[in-house]
Amino acid sequence: MIARHRTRAIAGLAFAALTAASSIVLAQPEDDPVAEYRAMMGDDNPAEFWVMRGEALWSEPRGPASVSLEQCDLGMGPGVVKGAYAHLPRYFADAGQVMDLETRLLHCMVTLQGIPRKEALKQRFGDGARESDFEALAAFVAEESRGQVLDVPLDNPAMEKAYALGKEMFFYRAGTHDFSCATCHGQTGMRIRLQQLPNISEAEGARAAYSGWPAYRVSQGEVRTMQWRLQDCFRQQRLPQLDFGSQASIALTTYIAHNANGAVMDAPGMKR
């Protein structure tokens, strides 16, 4: 993993340089510092290291049951990874609920591998001290749907309900600032400083916002999942912490994914 850490250090330095440069070019609002970074890195996305680790984790016997995730059903049959992410979130009859990718991975860790839920959740997000299996596995599964067309239909009552709840939450104003998601993501062409804020309530913006997640976040040197993205926006919205895998998080992801239908999946992507 030395290579990975070296890449992260280089990535961090390059980003710092670009950020410094971008403060000079603020007069040109169309400039996107991550686009420059992408151009510099060529086809190399450091997320590749997470994909490789996720692929190894997928087939490694783990947990008290000492089994791999190769019998995990991501919705297309046990063990089928190819294309699975392009059809998530979806309703899972065995769990009796709608699940997104991360929640389904958690479900498989608990039910197949016998890892206690609390234990598994300890590493839901990686930091300098500890890598996250979710971030690696999500990167691997997403990579296996690159180029596929996102298709998340509301084809049963549970999906309809999740979408409706997600939509309600998206427009629900709360917190000390009385913000809703729509305050920042409900108009086209909004930006905070250099960051474009996609309009997630319509197809074009939702596709831009969704198709590249999970993503390597240049500013953090980590791959982050949609669950991470949402809890960070809860923080920006000054709401209480969003629980990983909660009904609320799945409903919001269902809302965004369904709005983004037709997107060509391009994850893991690269974000600021």
Q: Which is nearer to ligand HEC, 55 or 143 (CB)?
A: 143
Q: Which is nearer to ligand HEC, 27 or 192 (CB)?
A: 192
Q: Give which of 203, 200, 202 is closest to 230, Cα–Cα.
A: 200
Q: Could you list the residues that contact ligand HEC (CB under 6 A)?
A: 179, 181, 183-185, 192, 195, 197-198, 208-209, 229-230, 233-234, 236-237, 252, 256, 271-272
Q: Which is nearer to ligand HEC, 8 or 62 (CB)?
A: 8
Burial of 187 (0-12, 13-18, 19+ CB in 10 A): middle
Q: How far is the CB of 22 from ligand HEC (least distance, A)?
A: 13
Buried b (16+ CB within 10 A) or exposed e, 78-116: eeebebbbbbbbbbbeeeeebbbbbbbbbbbbbebbebe
Phi, psi torsion values for 199, nearest 5 degrees: -80, 95
Q: How far is the CB of 196 from ligand HEC (least distance, A)?
A: 7
In the annotation, is 233 catalytic? yes
Q: How far is the CB of 134 from ligand HEC (least distance, A)?
A: 17
Q: How far is the CB of 115 from ligand HEC (least distance, A)?
A: 28
Q: Which residues contact 23 (CB under 8 A, 6 or more apart)?
A: none
Q: Which is nearer to ligand HEC, 198 or 221 (CB)?
A: 198
Task: Give residue 65's identity as a one-letter amino acid code.
Answer: A
Question: What CA–CA distance (Å, rounded) separates 96 from 167?
Answer: 21
Catalytic residue among 72, 108, 181, 233: 233
- So which residues are the catalytic ones? 233
